[in-house]
Amino acid sequence: MPASGTAKLAGTGGVSYPTGVDSLPSPNLSVTLVDDIGPETDWSGILQDVDAVVHLAARVHMIQELAPNLYTLYQQMNVDATRRLAEQSEAAGVHRFVFLSSIGVHGAINRGQPCSEKSHPAPYNHYTQSKWQAEQLLQQIATESAMQVTVLRPPLVYGPRVPANFLALMRLVDRGIPLPLGAVQNQRSLIYLGNLVSAIQHCLEHPDADGQTFVVSDGDDVSTPELIRRLARALGKPARLLPVSTCWLLAAARLTGKMATLERLTGSLLVDSRHIRQELSWQPPFTMDEGLVETARWFRLAQAKGAN
């Protein structure tokens, strides 16, 4: 939320709030539900008197997607819908447009230097390709108009309502299931949701964010075994790690068709976020351990409600 003024939240699904939202953090936040987010969505009504737009909505990558027209689906949601929103934002006089992209535009893993804004783009699937294309079209719109565009590329985001793989890992740790990842020697950057929100706010408010692209992370890089230990501590559980050789893990992944999952668990993906720290004087307000504690607190509350 901005320090002053009002804000609008737009999204799909739900009855009163967009999917994934069950309450509002401020009485100054209003909600508008739309039937769909796509290349034909009419944003003109909600964009009246709006100074800045933060575009978070996207079709995200899901393991083993089977739809026959996946490329088209990603293009419609992540590229064409972004173009539609940006063009209508510019027409409505929006001053700044902040776009949440993905560190995946630099590739799934890095084996050398941490990736920064200067690293070569290497999108590797429909999702990251569509994010990269959306970045490029936004930069084109910015050069042809007065609307300022800022792009953020976060790594894996964790926090309350964490989805997919991170939630699955939490469940395994919470159940005390031994994980054969004790011998993994990798390094990964992550970002806590609260830190990402802080970075977005800096991009909205800082004059030097105009025209910039920032990679962003907690700045506390961890190996997969270390992440599991910290997560177990936050959950109040012992970390059960087995030191299985990565050669055996690789063989098992090939036999079971889980190579993509293994790469995420054993590969390195480091982020050098010095640029946003220096350019916008941004510092993450939460440590990784604080973020994991908050994530674990949400996990327990969701368990109590029968949601996990």
Report the alpha-carbon distance of residue 56 to residue 75 in Å, rounded. Answer: 15
**Beta strands 96-100; 148-153: pairing state:** parallel
Report the alpha-carbon distance of residue 73 to residue 42 in Å, rounded. Answer: 19
Complete DSSP assignment for 134-186: HHHHHHHHHHTSS-EEEEEE--EEESTT--HHHHHHHHHHHTT--BS-TT---
Token pair, residue 241, equals 């790690």
Report the alpha-carbon distance of residue 122 to residue 257 in Å, rounded. Answer: 23
**Marked catalytic residue, from 17, 71, 124, 127:** 127
Q: What is the dihedral of CA 276, 279, 284, 288, to 10 degrees?
A: 40
Q: What is the DSSP letter of 209?
A: G
For residue 87, count other CB atoms closer than 10 A to its CB: 15
Q: What is the dihedral of CA 220, 126, 212, 194, to 10 degrees?
A: -40
The reply to whether 158 belongs to the active site is no
Q: What is the dihedral of CA 135, 136, 138, 144, to 10 degrees?
A: 160
Widest distance between CA atoms in the chain: 59
Token pair, residue 111, equals 């084996």
Report the alpha-carbon distance of residue 221 to residue 213 in Å, rounded. Answer: 21
Active site residues: 127
